C-alpha cells in the first residue's frame, strides 16, 4: 500500500537514512547528485522540515520510501533564473525541495508519484506556479523532471546548501488556473 502524508519527527531517522543510502551510492560512483555527506542533506535537513510542517513522506507498506520538503519558499538563487512567469506572485508559487527516493525502492515510479502529489498539493493550495531545482550533474533528476513537463529556466552557478561550485538547474511548470482553488481545511 502506498500513502503520501505530512512527515513527523518520528519519520526523520528514516528520511536521514535515505540521504545516507543515496550518498553511499554517490560515493561508490553509482549515482550523481552533487551532495556531500555531512554537508547536505543531513538529518538536520529533515528535522527542520518536519518541525516546520513542510516534510512529506511516501510510505510503501509502512516504510518511508521517498520524502521531500514542500513550501512556498524560493531560495535566493532563483532570482537569477529565467522564469517564464517571473512576475508570479510569491503566494502563488509552490516549491519542491530535496526530493529523495530510497535506492532500494528505485524503479517503482515513486519519484513520479511524489511529483504528482506535489502538483495536486500546490493546486489545492491555490499555487499554479511550480518551481524546484536540482544539481546540473544530476542527469537522472533532470530527465525525470523534463519527462514530467518541467521546463529548465536556467542554470545558476552558486554555493548551494553549503556545497561550493554548484550549477543549480531551476525548473518550473505552470498548472492551469482552473485546477487551482483554495484548499479545504
pLDDT at 152 over 50: yes
Lay out the sheet containing 63-71: strands in order across: 2-6, 55-60, 63-71, 93-101, 129-135, 163-174, 151-160
pLDDT at 7 over 90: yes
pLDDT at 25 over 50: yes
Of 10-24, 95-109, 170-184, give the lowest mean pLDDT range. 170-184
Give residue 113's pLDDT band: very low, low, confident or very high (50, 70, 90): very high
pLDDT at 24 over 50: yes
Minimal CA–CA distance to 67: which of 12, 26, 106, 24? 12
Minimal CA–CA distance to 11: which of 108, 142, 102, 131? 102
Q: How far is CA 181 from CA 122, 158, 176, in A?
A: 9, 35, 11
Minimal CA–CA distance to 48: which of 67, 32, 76? 67
Give residue 178's pLDDT band: very low, low, confident or very high (50, 70, 90): low
pLDDT at 161 over 60: yes
Q: Return d(Cα 56, Cα 86) in angstroms, integer.
A: 27
User: In sequence order, what are the residues at sequence separation of 6 or more whose Cβ sits closer than 8 angstroms to the Cβ of residue 60?
Assistant: 1, 2, 105, 108, 110
pLDDT at 62 over 50: yes
**What does the pLDDT average to over 15-33?**
96
Mean pLDDT score of the chain: 94
Burial (CB < 10 A; 0-12, 13-18, 19+), residue 121, is: middle
Q: Check residue 176 and give its pLDDT.
A: 80
The topology (CATH level 3) of 2-176 is Aminopeptidase (3.40.630)
Minimal CA–CA distance to 31: which of 127, 115, 101? 101
pLDDT at 183 over 80: no
If one counts every other C-beta atom within 10 angstroms of the C-beta of residue 77, the result is: 17
Whether the model clears a pTM of 0.85, i.e. scores above it, the answer is yes
Amino acid at each position: 500500500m502506498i500513502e503520501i502524508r505530512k512527515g513527523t519527527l518520528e519519520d526523520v531517522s528514516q528520511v536521514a537514512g535515505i540521504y545516507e543510502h543515496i550518498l553511499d551510492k554517490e560515493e561508490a560512483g553509482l549515482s550523481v547528485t552533487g551532495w556531500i555527506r555531512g554537508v547536505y542533506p543531513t538529518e538536520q535537513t529533515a528535522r527542520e522540515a518536519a518541525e516546520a510542517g513542510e516534510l512529506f513522506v511516501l510510505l510503501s507498506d509502512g516504510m518511508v520510501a521517498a520524502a521531500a520538503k514542500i513550501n512556498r519558499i524560493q531560495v535566493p538563487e532563483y532570482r537569477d533564473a529565467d522564469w517564464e512567469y517571473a512576475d508570479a506572485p510569491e503566494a502563488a508559487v509552490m516549491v519542491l525541495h530535496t526530493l529523495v527516493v530510497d535506492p532500494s525502492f528505485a524503479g517503482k515510479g515513486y519519484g513520479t508519484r511524489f511529483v504528482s502529489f506535489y502538483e495536486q498539493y500546490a493546486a489545492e493550495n491555490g499555487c499554479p506556479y511550480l518551481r524546484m531545482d536540482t544539481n546540473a550533474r544530476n542527469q537522472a533528476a533532470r530527465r525525470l523532471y523534463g519527462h514530467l513537463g518541467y521546463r529548465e529556466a536556467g542554470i545558476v552557478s552558486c554555493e548551494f546548501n553549503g556545497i561550493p561550485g554548484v550549477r543549480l538547474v531551476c525548473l518550473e511548470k505552470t498548472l492551469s488556473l482552473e485546477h487551482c482553488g483554495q484548499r479545504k481545511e
